Each structure stands twice: as structure tokens, then as C-alpha cells.
């Protein structure tokens, strides 16, 4: 959530930055409500002061034996006016908060300006796109032929875009998860977290999924619970409403969870295979940092995600998302895109985002610095990595002419074999 003080002090700059995202975005309505709210607050404060003075007079008048009926009636009337103003102020507070919850984060000055994903510049590439001297197969065909994933029965058990891993496919999925967790905890210094897979509305609001993206969530009927779309939601909110010490920062946390997304706006996109499904596994990295260290920590987190791909030997590129393409809560984001032969292109496998204090302000995650001042932390997260897409990339890039699939060396100790 944007800082109302920042909006008041820099309205033109905030509007300019928001319009880099979308020309229709504006904080003008927020400022209009804020002006009304502050005017009413001033009126209420003036009436409270008057009521206090009149109440003091009543005590003196009673001591002097004077009749206080008229002044008591005046004080009661003042109380009614104050109550009406307070109710109006609450109404305006709620309206202002609702508006602020629907306004995205302002992009960082270093975020490339653009109108669509076509304007996302490539920052770097690693490895070369895989070439074959035989007719390669897409992962969905290989998975069915080798009985790694049963797409048909996954649909039967649930609905379209749900999958059933089995046999060596289930083992490979588990091996990828274990490798990512071991790498992040043993080499990159993250604390492993196993959070709930359901979160309440307050938690969803803290990271920015609610209220704007309610239609993309799976909600439990008659309960204030949603299936999480990413581990970012519960892990970021672990310290919601708390004040940490600067000595506690930065906090590095990683978690494996299944993720659940309705993908309401994706009809017709990536209809085959593992690229876009309603339930998928993911290992997430989350950091809480000071404002001063967040740019450096964002870069380090992105490198941690890149290390996963490098150790697996998968070709990828890093892309800087432009202002029109960054996520709702982010101010800066890098996407890592892995090479998929079936698409003859790179596909996103990780988004590594810096949120500044946007999420922390919504979730009220603060810290006390060394001078004793309490301020909001910065939050950072990224996939390390999306497991299903990693699975698809391994199957496609490491398929052999004899129909086998080579297992990356770093996964062989988990799989107990070098190919399937």
C-alpha cells in the first residue's frame, strides 16, 4: 500500500510514476477523500475542544449554584455533532483505505518504461538453446509415453489443468523440490519454512492478492480461508503486525508449497502440458530487509534463483520487466525464463521482485533501527523455482534419441539413476 504521506507531499510525482504502469491510474480520488477527511477531523477537533471548555464551565456553575440545563443541553448537542463527524470520518477512512488497497505499487526509477511485455529488455543469457539431431518431442508427449504424468486421469479426478504425477515422474518432481530446498538452506543461507497451505483474508491482503485479485483465488465456502497461490503469501506475513529489531534483518526464508490458481484470464493459453495449471509445486524464497539493503538483496535473490538453473544445466535468460508488466505489488522485477524446445522460445520459470515497503505497509511489518526509529521493512521474493516448469524443461532439453531422458547430475543422488 502506498504511503498517504508520500502521496500528499509528492502528488505529481506519484501520478507520473503510476502512469508509467497505466495511463488511467491516478491518486486524485485518494487526495480528494484525504482532503475531506482532514477537514472533518479538524472540525471534530474544534468541537471537542469547545465541548471540553463548556464541560469545565458546568463544574464551575454548579459550584456557584447556577442553573446548568442550557449549557448541558449545548454539550449534548456538541456530542451529537462530534459523533456524526466521527462516523463520517470512519466512512472516509474506509473509502480511502479501499482505494489505496486497489492502487498498485509505484515502479522503481530503474524499472524500464514500456507498454507491454514486448518492451521487456533481456539483461543476460546463460547457455545456448538446445539443438537436436533427431525429431524431439514436447514434454506432454514424452510424459505420457513414459508414464511420468497422467494428464487424462488428472482431469478425471479434478478438472482441466490438473495433473497426476506417477512413478518416476512423481519421484523426479520430489527430487527437484528436495534439490531446491537443500541448495537454498545449505548454500544460500535460507531458513526452511513449512507454512499452512490456506491463508485468511488479512494474510492475502498483506501481500496484495486481495482485494484486487479475488477472482483468481480458490476460496473455502463459509470460511475466511483461501488456498494459497504462492508460498510468498504465508511466509511474508509470518511477521505481520510485529516490530523486529534491525539486528534481526535481513531474514532469509524458503518454503515448498503447492500453489493454487484459478487462472481466470488464461483461457486458451498453454492448454497442453505443465506450463499453466491450476495446482503446481513451487519453492519460494522470501527476504525481509532494511530499505538500504533491499536493492542488493534483490540482486542476490535473483542470483540464487539463477544458480538453480545453472546447476541443472538448463539454458535461460534474465529479463527486466517493464512498467506495464511488473506485478501489482512490485516496484522492480526480473523474470528468469527457461528455454523450452516445444515453444521454440523461453518461458518464465521465476519472477524475482522487490516490493519496497508496499507489502510491509499493508501487513504492518516493521523494525526498530539502531537509532530507535520504527519503520517498515522491505520485502523481496522470487521462485526458486517453479517445480512443474523445471520438470518440463528437464524432460524436453535432456531427451535423447533412444527415448530416454538424462537426469541432471545434481538430481541423480535423489533419483538413484542417471536417466529415465
Residues labelled as active-site residues: 261, 276, 348, 351, 389
Q: Are 369 and 290 in contact (CB under 8 A)?
A: yes
**C-alpha cell recorded at residue 244:** 523486529
Report residue 108: phi and psi, to 5°.
-65, 150
What SS3 state is found at 346?
strand
The 374-376 sheet, strands edge to edge: 243-245, 366-368, 374-376
Backbone dihedral region for residue 200 (phi beyond 0: left; psi -120 to 50: alpha; all else: beta)? beta
Q: Are 157 and 164 in contact (CB under 8 A)?
A: yes
- In angstroms, the CA 38 to CA 44 distance is 10
Cβ-proximal residues to 358 (8 Å cutoff; 6+ apart), any chain: 1, 2, 105, 208, 329, 330, 331, 379
- In angstroms, the CA 295 to CA 380 distance is 9
Amino acid at each position: 500500500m502506498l504511503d498517504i504521506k508520500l502521496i500528499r507531499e509528492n502528488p505529481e510525482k506519484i501520478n507520473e510514476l503510476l502512469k508509467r504502469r497505466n495511463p488511467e491510474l491516478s491518486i486524485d480520488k485518494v487526495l480528494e477523500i484525504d482532503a475531506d477527511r482532514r477537514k472533518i477531523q479538524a472540525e471534530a477537533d474544534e468541537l471537542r475542544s469547545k465541548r471540553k471548555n463548556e464541560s469545565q464551565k458546568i463544574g464551575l456553575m454548579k459550584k456557584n449554584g447556577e442553573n446548568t440545563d442550557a449549557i448541558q443541553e449545548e454539550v449534548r448537542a456538541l456530542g451529537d455533532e462530534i459523533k456524526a463527524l466521527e462516523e463520517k470520518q470512519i466512512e472516509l477512512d474506509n473509502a480511502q483505505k479501499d482505494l489505496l488497497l486497489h492502487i498498485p505499487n509505484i515502479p522503481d526509477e530503474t524499472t524500464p518504461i514500456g507498454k507491454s511485455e514486448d518492451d521487456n529488455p533481456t539483461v543476460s543469457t546463460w547457455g545456448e538453446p538446445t539443438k537436436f539431431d533427431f525429431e524431439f518431442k514436447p514434454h506432454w508427449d514424452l510424459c505420457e509415453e513414459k508414464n511420468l504424468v497422467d494428464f487424462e486421469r488428472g482431469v478425471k479426478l479434478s478438472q482441466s489443468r490438473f495433473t497426476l504425477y506417477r512413478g518416476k515422474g512423481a519421484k523426479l518432481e520430489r527430487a527437484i523440490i528436495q534439490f531446491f530446498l537443500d541448495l537454498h538452506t545449505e548454500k544460500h543461507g535460507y531458513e526452511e519454512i513449512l507454512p499452512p497451505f490456506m491463508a485468511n483474508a488479512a494474510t492475502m491482503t498483506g501481500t496484495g492478492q486481495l482485494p484486487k485479485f479475488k477472482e483468481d483465488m480458490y476460496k473455502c465456502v463459509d470460511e475466511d480461508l483461501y488456498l494459497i497461490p504462492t508460498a510468498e503469501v504465508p511466509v511474508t506475513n509470518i511477521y505481520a503486525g510485529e516490530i523486529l529489531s534491525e539486528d534481526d534483518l535481513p531474514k532469509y526464508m524458503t518454503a515448498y508449497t503447492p500453489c493454487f490458481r484459478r487462472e481466470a484470464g488464461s483461457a486458451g493459453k498453454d492448454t497442453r502440458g505443465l506450463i499453466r495449471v491450476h495446482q503446481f509445486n513451487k519453492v519460494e524464497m522470501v527476504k525481509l530487509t532494511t530499505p538500504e539493503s533491499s536493492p542488493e538483496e534483490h540482486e542476490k535473490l535473483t542470483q540464487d534463483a539463477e544458480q538453480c538453473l545453472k546447476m541443472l544445466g538448463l539454458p535461460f535468460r534474465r529479463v527486466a520487466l517493464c512498467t506495464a508488466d511488473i506485478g501489482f505489488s512490485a516496484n522492480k522485477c526480473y523474470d528468469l525464463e527457461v528455454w523450452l524446445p516445444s515453444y521454440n522460445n523461453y518461458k518464465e520459470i521465476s519472477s524475482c521482485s522487490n516490493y519496497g515497503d508496499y507489502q510491509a505497509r499493508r501487513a504492518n511489518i516493521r523494525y526498530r533501527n539502531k537509532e530507535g526509529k520504527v519503520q517498515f521493512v522491505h520485502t523481496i521474493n522470487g521462485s526458486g523455482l517453479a517445480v512443474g516448469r523445471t520438470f518440463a524443461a528437464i524432460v524436453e532439453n535432456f531427451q535423447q534419441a533412444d527415448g530416454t531422458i538424462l537426469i541432471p547430475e545434481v538430481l541423480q543422488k535423489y533419483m538413484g539413476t542417471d536417466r529415465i
